[in-house]
Amino acid sequence: MIQNFKRKTLISNMATLRVVLFTGFLLLVLSACSQDCDCETPGAASNQGNTSEKITLRLAHGWPKGYPIFGESVDDYAELVSAMSDGRIELKVDSATKHKSAFGIFDFVKSGQYDIGQTASYYYGGKDPDALFFSSMPFSMTAAEQTAWFYHGGGLELANKVYEKHNIQLMLGGNTGMQMGGWFRKEINSIEDLDGLKMRIPGFGGKVIAGVGAQPTNIPAGELYQALERGTIDALEWVGPGLDLRMGFHKVAPYYYTGWHEPGTELLYFFNKDSMAKLPEWAKAVLMNAARLTAYNMSTATFAANTDNLEIMQDQFPELKIRKFPVDVITALKASNDRLLEEEMARSDIAKEIIESRAAYLKKARDWTEVGVKAYLDSMSESTVD
Ligand code: CA
């Protein structure tokens, strides 16, 4: 069960080893720095003083307090930052339960009300339409492909280019892996069944279903079940088995469709650029590298939770029906997606640059996925030996 995913599993033995090694490295750097140079005064506005003074930074995330994996990974991040800085950096973490604004992270960090945030970029298409491109895109890259794009294909640079004007610097925060297509009260037999359907689905996927006549909306995690149960919405997508099962959606919407709209959704850490500019280099290195490690741990934890909870769904909830969308539905959604991408490319130069970068990387990464993972899976399923 998801409850088993406590922080111990998020910070693996490998991670602990890396922390020890990295902390040792930092202490060496700090030691050398104290002997050989004049260290900068650390910290954001509240952290004036010498290097021995503690740096305290405020972090807001958009999930309920203690929310499995997404929220827990932020608490892990704070612990990791403390360990890697030998206690010199303290992150004061506020959940949406505290700050009451699940979709307020963008403004919190932009304004400097919080130094750091953790959220999904595609919640902020209303703030900046180019923010939609940096979580996941329909019919686009899987988690492995997109992570490679972020780190090695210019994706993170493009994301930072978009967010620079908002005074925000980014680092990856963890990937959900393949997301499911969502929970539906009624079976979807043809594209006509989406006409007028009210569905919670954020980001570009929401625009795509609007293009085939559905009515997308976005609702925070804490209000999803109630909205589905009361019929405020007819369907919703959240994440995948690992996070969906505990939400109880299967009790009111038994049809669980496979994915198309979020093949690998990345959460991001947002850093206020003014807060970062006031920090010494070692502190910035800790914050960025701890985020990278937290992102890896969260991705692994989500994969593990999905495997555990899919097994439970199949064994214990026979009334829950896992379905693929009919071919005509996927075809219509793909056509809607292609139309929207054309419109977006005409909207701005940066949108065109991002869409073309994603498309080029998808093409080359998918070649390897086909020759590598897909061929392997095909060979396994074709084998006559169990
Ligand atoms: Ca989702």
What's the pLDDT tens digit per position in 143-198? 999 999 999 999 999 999 999 999 999 999 999 999 999 999 999 999 999 999 99
Mean pLDDT to the nearest integer, 284-296: 98
Residue 59 Cα to ligand 1 middle (Å) = 23
Residue 32 Cα to ligand 1 middle (Å) = 46
Residue 284 Cα to ligand 1 middle (Å) = 30
Residue 72 Cα to ligand 1 middle (Å) = 18
Residue 239 Cα to ligand 1 middle (Å) = 5
More confident residue, 386 or 176: 176
Residue 19 Cα to ligand 1 middle (Å) = 31
Residue 251 Cα to ligand 1 middle (Å) = 19
Mean pLDDT to the nearest integer, 226-248: 97
Residue 375 Cα to ligand 1 middle (Å) = 28
Residue 44 Cα to ligand 1 middle (Å) = 34
Residue 273 Cα to ligand 1 middle (Å) = 28
Residue 79 Cα to ligand 1 middle (Å) = 27
Residue 361 Cα to ligand 1 middle (Å) = 22
Residue 259 Cα to ligand 1 middle (Å) = 10
- HEC sequence for the chain: CHHHCCHHHHCCHHHHHHHHHHHHHHHHHHHHHHHHCCCCCCCCHHHCCCCCCCEEEEEEECCCCCCCCHHHHHHHHHHHHHHHCCCCEEEEEECHHHHCCCCCHHHHHHHCCCCEEEECHHHHCCCCHHHHHHCCCCCCCCHHHHHHHHHHCCHHHHHHHHHHCCCEEEEEEEECCCCCCEEECCCCCCHHHHCCCEEECCHHHHHHHHCCCCEEECCCHHHHHHHHHCCCCCEECCCCHHHHHHHCHHHCCCEEECCCCCCCCEEEEEEEHHHHHCCCHHHHHHHHHHHHHHHHHHHHHHHHHHHHHHHHHHHHCCCCEEECCCHHHHHHHHHHHHHHHHHHHHHCHHHHHHHHHHHHHHHHHHHHHHHHHHHHHHHHHHCCCC
Residue 213 Cα to ligand 1 middle (Å) = 20
Residue 111 Cα to ligand 1 middle (Å) = 27
Query: What pLDDT is attached to residue 3?
Result: 40
pTM of the entire structure? 0.87
Residue 302 Cα to ligand 1 middle (Å) = 13
Asked whether the predicted pLDDT for residue 12 surpasses 60, the reply is no
**pLDDT band at 40, cuts 50/70/90?**
very low
Residue 175 Cα to ligand 1 middle (Å) = 11
Residue 366 Cα to ligand 1 middle (Å) = 22
Query: What pLDDT is attached to residue 128?
Result: 98
Residue 265 Cα to ligand 1 middle (Å) = 8
